[in-house]
Chains A and B, each alone.
Chain A
């Protein structure tokens, strides 16, 4: 349990440290150090869980099992690589005069605040605290969306704040209903503990849990970006600083989905029906198709990729909804490869916009000629996210298709259609941006593409061969969620 406490306290120390520290030139580097220690703690935690199985802390406040431990490692990893990217990026933004020292301090302090909220959501055993962490993640990031203080960014942040705040309030109502069902069979203070709830899931009142799940799905679904609750997402992603878009897309959406899946496990145990799964499939498929169609009409490069996030989150929600060992395994894999690829793409997009000086796609041209590393990074990232073999996204999408064909054959048609539409939507925009002649006066910028290469290499590796310890890890998580093993 020590590494989990270490993890939470590092992030907490980070918030206080950056908030109080005077201006330092190395503030970005210190942030990288904080995140490296976090990653170290999560790996320590993961080794513990792999060797000893599920860990429950003595006061039952924290629960680490094979499902959340891999998300914890993923969160720390993406948090670290994004901080490596954000160091030169934010320094460059400051040189351009978009930021002051004070706001830079706010940025780093809230970066750690966001990480703390994410770790809290993932490690806690208490469904109520999970809600608190999710809300705290909104609160930590809302001032970062409006960091540039432009009218657009303030509008985006306000929309984000109000929509996610109201949305997540529904999840709290769901949690209250869950608690209401739980106190009828258990004692008060422990009734919201997931470990207790899961053990007694079959005794929970199915009527109440069904109503509760609808509220949870709407509430956390707002944060996942499920259509039609997605309106805040493209705005917040496009107007905030790019490292924020990378962690929002790569981490926040995943963790909201994690909360939904945890609740689905309880509801499935109580109702013995597919009601929760069918709801998730419906919302997931709608988000997937709407996200894919909206890719076509985007003008802003960050909005383009935020719609791609909506599309992929929809696919994952759909896959978790289908249930069964294969679909769940595929969804877990897709969560991983999507996080890695999408955060890599946002990092390259951040550099590309600094090269071109704008986010408008019709103004970004000739990236390969200007700065080959960025151009190729963007192209390969897009190929990966569009689901080309041999990248990992192909593997997971293929597995989702396979599972769908098995359980709901007719639904493979809209899925295939959506994948095709999304592919066309991405490439009609990306192709002219990376190829072609460079415009007059376009200069390369100082860029650190190590995170991008690392992420894409990992995705490639996952596409070619999933290492056996990881496959084992995923199948343990799959067993936990779906009750059967894929391997």
Chain B
């Protein structure tokens, strides 16, 4: 596949896929919470742009609504809420020590390879472009999980959670030109409610363990103490 031989829309989509994947890796190695949130907002912005480009080139009006929803939720509201949370908890000066950085990054890279491997069968029915787009989306989902595993702060977990959501959204836009409107509105509603609930939870966790380090939440397990 030669990228220059593709039409402009496909070229843009592929570049966006690469950039979205890159932001996921940037988040993975980020120990400072404010920068993590900033990169997350950039990922949201890339999604908004992708949606807008898709809406324009496919002349699909409901995708514009999706683009506006993404902009409002993922670029403005959630990063703003998380940033407030960081400042309130006085975590903005802390740098989280991330176990073994090299291992985490290598793990991230192997997850990306794994995504290509899992989705390879569909190449029989579709163009390699679609494979790229779907595989990058899946790896963004998996990298979001790895982010949650490697970070200890509850705020980083929420960023991971929301970036999983970003990966799914990207898949929906590029592979299927957006889900039906009713589904997309439903998903946006769920994300909004989830974001609000996370805000409530930060408050509860702080008042319960006086910190947002989820490693301190270890009362419930099956191991005898």
Question: Could you list which residues of chain A lie within 8 angstroms of chain B, going by C-beta atoms?
Answer: 61, 126, 128-129, 131-132, 135-136, 139, 142-143, 146, 149-152, 154-159, 161-162, 165-166, 169-170, 172-173, 176-177, 179-180, 183-184, 188-192, 205, 207-208, 210-211, 235, 238-239, 294, 297
A residues in contact with B144, CB < 8 Å: 166
B residues in contact with A238, CB < 8 Å: 220
**Nearest-CB residue, chain B, relative to A299:** B224
Question: What are 20 A-B pairs with beta-carbon distances under 8 A?
Answer: A128-B179, A129-B186, A139-B194, A146-B201, A151-B209, A154-B201, A155-B217, A155-B219, A155-B220, A176-B176, A179-B179, A183-B176, A192-B180, A205-B122, A205-B125, A207-B124, A211-B121, A211-B122, A294-B222, A297-B222
Nearest chain B CB to A170's CB is how many angstroms away? 8
A residues in contact with B96, CB < 8 Å: none
**Nearest-CB residue, chain A, relative to B172:** A176
> A316 vs B208: C-alpha distance in the bound complex, in angstroms?
38
Q: Do A165 and B125 touch (CB < 8 A)?
A: no
CB < 8 Å neighbour of B183 from A126, A142, A177, A183: A126
**Nearest-CB residue, chain A, relative to B218:** A155
> A189 vs B183: C-alpha distance in the bound complex, in angstroms?
10
The 7 closest A-B pairs by CB, nearest first: A128-B183, A132-B186, A155-B217, A207-B121, A151-B208, A135-B190, A235-B220
> A180 vs B180: C-alpha distance in the bound complex, in angstroms?
12
B residues in contact with A151, CB < 8 Å: 208-209, 217, 219
Nearest chain A CB to B198's CB is how many angstroms away? 8
> A139 vs B193: C-alpha distance in the bound complex, in angstroms?
7
Q: Do A152 and B220 touch (CB < 8 A)?
A: yes
Q: Do B179 and A142 touch (CB < 8 A)?
A: no
Question: Could you list which residues of chain B lie within 8 angstroms of chain A, going by C-beta atoms?
Answer: 118-119, 121-122, 124-125, 134, 137-138, 141, 144-145, 148, 154, 157, 161, 164-165, 168, 171-172, 175-177, 179-183, 186-187, 189-190, 193-194, 197-198, 200-201, 204-205, 208-209, 214, 217-220, 222
Known: A149-B208, A235-B220. A176 touches B168 (CB 8 A): yes
Nearest chain B CB to A256's CB is how many angstroms away? 16
CB < 8 Å neighbour of B187 from A126, A132, A208: A132
Nearest chain A CB to B130's CB is how many angstroms away? 8
By DSSP majority rule, is chain B's interface helix, strand, loop, or mixed?
helix
A residues in contact with B179, CB < 8 Å: 128, 176, 179, 192
**Nearest-CB residue, chain B, relative to A232:** B220
Q: Which of A126, A149, A170, A173 has the most CB of B within 10 A?
A: A173
Q: Do A158 and B168 touch (CB < 8 A)?
A: no
Q: Which of A170, A179, A189, A235 has the most CB of B within 10 A?
A: A179
> A79 vs B18: C-alpha distance in the bound complex, in angstroms?
48
A residues in contact with B208, CB < 8 Å: 149-151, 154
Q: Do A165 and B161 touch (CB < 8 A)?
A: yes
A residues in contact with B197, CB < 8 Å: 139, 142-143, 161
B residues in contact with A180, CB < 8 Å: 134, 175-176
> A158 vs B158: C-alpha distance in the bound complex, in angstroms?
11
**Nearest-CB residue, chain B, relative to A155:** B217
> A128 vs B218: C-alpha distance in the bound complex, in angstroms?
35
Q: Do B219 and A208 touch (CB < 8 A)?
A: no
Nearest chain B CB to A319's CB is how many angstroms away? 27
Nearest chain A CB to B155's CB is how many angstroms away? 13
Q: Do B205 and A158 touch (CB < 8 A)?
A: yes
> A172 vs B175: C-alpha distance in the bound complex, in angstroms?
14
A residues in contact with B118, CB < 8 Å: 211
**Nearest-CB residue, chain A, relative to B173:** A176
Nearest chain A CB to B163's CB is how many angstroms away? 10
**Nearest-CB residue, chain B, relative to A294:** B222
B residues in contact with A294, CB < 8 Å: 222
> A128 vs B182: C-alpha distance in the bound complex, in angstroms?
8
- 12 further interface pairs, Cβ-Cβ under 8 Å (given A139-B197, A176-B168): A132-B189, A151-B217, A154-B201, A169-B141, A169-B165, A173-B138, A173-B168, A173-B171, A176-B171, A179-B172, A207-B121, A211-B119
**Nearest-CB residue, chain A, relative to B198:** A161
CB < 8 Å neighbour of A162 from B125, B138, B157, B222: B157
Nearest chain A CB to B65's CB is how many angstroms away? 14
Q: Do B220 and A239 touch (CB < 8 A)?
A: yes
Known: A151-B219, A173-B168, A184-B125. A128 touches B180 (CB 8 A): yes
Nearest chain A CB to B191's CB is how many angstroms away? 9
**Nearest-CB residue, chain B, relative to A169:** B164
B residues in contact with A176, CB < 8 Å: 168, 171-172, 175-176, 179
> A414 vs B132: C-alpha distance in the bound complex, in angstroms?
43
Known: A294-B222, A297-B222. A162 touches B164 (CB 8 A): no
B residues in contact with A190, CB < 8 Å: 180
Nearest chain B CB to A471's CB is how many angstroms away? 37
> A183 vs B172: C-alpha distance in the bound complex, in angstroms?
12
> A297 vs B169: C-alpha distance in the bound complex, in angstroms?
42
> A154 vs B198: C-alpha distance in the bound complex, in angstroms?
12
> A156 vs B181: C-alpha distance in the bound complex, in angstroms?
34
Q: Do A128 and B190 touch (CB < 8 A)?
A: no
A residues in contact with B121, CB < 8 Å: 207-208, 210-211
Q: Which of B168, B183, B200 has the most CB of A within 10 A?
A: B183
> A69 vs B205: C-alpha distance in the bound complex, in angstroms?
40
